[in-house]
Structure 1
Amino acid sequence: MPPKSNTNGFSNRSSQCYMPAWATLWTVIGSLVCIWDATYIITRPRSMANGDLFHIFSPYAKYITLDPLYGNLQNAFVIAQSCMNYVELTLALLSIILYHIVGQRNLGCLLLLVASAMTWSKTILYFVHDHFERSLHPEKSPVQIEAWEYICLFIMPSLVWVVFPFACMWSIGRQILRLLNVSNEKTKYY
């Protein structure tokens, strides 16, 4: 049975954006990690060593030696970044709900594209900020860290938030462009 046509004369199948399974999995797992990460920042100092919430966030005891912003209670940038995490993950999880549960596939894909662009650009900004913060204030580094620790425990895990959001932007952005091109071609003939 051929796909049903909508009011524009397109088949529903050709006018729908597709969210790859890996993008859905990334969005759910990435959002859970972002909730944990942002909550660590927002609940400081309670989430830090000797705080009543530290048992939930104990891996950050090592992480703050690699990323001094996470241990600096006076730094507004990391607080703002964490607030933006909540906005991004809300959009990302809403995209999953719209796509998989409500059936609003195009809107779900569009929201995932927006959330991915936000995550990607914020992560790049974080890397740039970290570079300049370290070079402008080398005396603020709490402890000496080995280069391999910095690469393996800060750079490599953070790159995940560059690669996967970019892959989502690329995959969904290409589909949206295709749908726009098909729509433009069809409207030329009507």
Structure 2
Amino acid sequence: MLHPSLDYRQPILPAWITLWLIFSSVICSLDVAFTINRPYTNEAPYLMTTSFYTPWNFYSQVDAHYRTTNDSLTAATGRVMLIEIMLNFVAIALGFARSRHAIPLAFLTTVMVFWKTVIFLAMFVFEPPTDEPAINSNIGVFDKFFIFWVPNCVWIIMPIIVIFSLWNKLAVPSRLIDRYRRAAGQCRGDLSFFNDQ
């Protein structure tokens, strides 16, 4: 039996998570466009460099992977981001449709974003000596922190918050699993049961 206090006209994903998925998808789309379209986005004579991608070019003063035109790391992460972006929008659509698959998909894409960012940042921690370090050694500690670490850590902290928020929605109490499975084929959205002692 469905809980009467639930408003079934509302999307199943919390509004702030939907907004985060949209924000993340837009920023990641711009990021992919920046890395795919180099040198048009990171060299001075091109119009896109001087206007639209100024924040990315500012960031690339610190991160050598973004400064390098043919960098394989940003090319690989860009391809992964395309999958994340697509899945984010599918999760949002499923949320508005109140599909029971919205929460697991939003959880999955958030975990993907989290681990991709962890792997990306791991490249910058205790990196082996190379001809050109990944982080510009001519930039001060303050600039490295605010230009590199703060923006990247947003994609660690926000996914952790979303993961913790969605975790409890994914976990069906073990005493309700059989009832949930029987009802899941008949209903969409949150399922709640009365008189479960």
Instruction: Name the structure with the higher helix share.
Output: 1
Of 46, 52, 58, the residue aligned with 1:51 is 46
- Size of the alignment, in residue pairs? 172
Q: Are 2:69 and 1:76 aligned?
A: no
Match of 2:190 in 1: none
C-alpha displacement of 1:18: 4.5
Name the structure, 1 or 2, with higher relative contact order (CA <8 Å, separation 6+). Answer: 2
C-alpha displacement of 1:185: 6.3
Gaps of 5+ in 1: none
C-alpha displacement of 1:115: 0.4
Q: Following superposition of structure 1 onto structure 2, how do residues 136-155 of structure 1 map, counting pairs within 5 Å?
A: 136-137=129-130, 139-140=132-133, 144-155=138-149
Partners of 2:152 and 2:70 in 1: CA distance: 22
C-alpha displacement of 1:52: 4.2
TM normalised by structure 2 equals 0.78
Moved >6 Å (runs of 4+): none
Of 110, 121, 127, the residue aligned with 2:121 is 127
Residues 140-181 of structure 1, C-alpha deviation per residue, up to 9 Å, x if partnerless?
A: 45560010111111111111101111111121122111x253
Match of 1:85 in 2: 81
Q: Following superposition of structure 1 onto structure 2, how do residues 1-190 of structure 1 map, counting pairs within 5 Å?
A: 5=1, 18-49=12-43, 50-54=45-49, 55-100=51-96, 102-104=97-99, 106-133=100-127, 135-137=128-130, 139-140=132-133, 144-177=138-171, 179=172, 181-184=174-177, 186=179
SS in 2 for 1:59: helix
Residues 138/147 of structure 1: CA separation in 2 closer, same or farther (3 Å cut): farther
Residues 108-166 of structure 1, C-alpha deviation per residue, up to 9 Å, x if partnerless?
A: 11111110000000000011012244x42264455600101111111111111011111
Instruction: Please report the RMSD computed on the Cα atoms of aligned residues, expressed in angstroms.
Output: 2.3
The answer on whether the counterparts of 1:91 and 1:111 sit within 8 Å (CA) in structure 2 is: yes
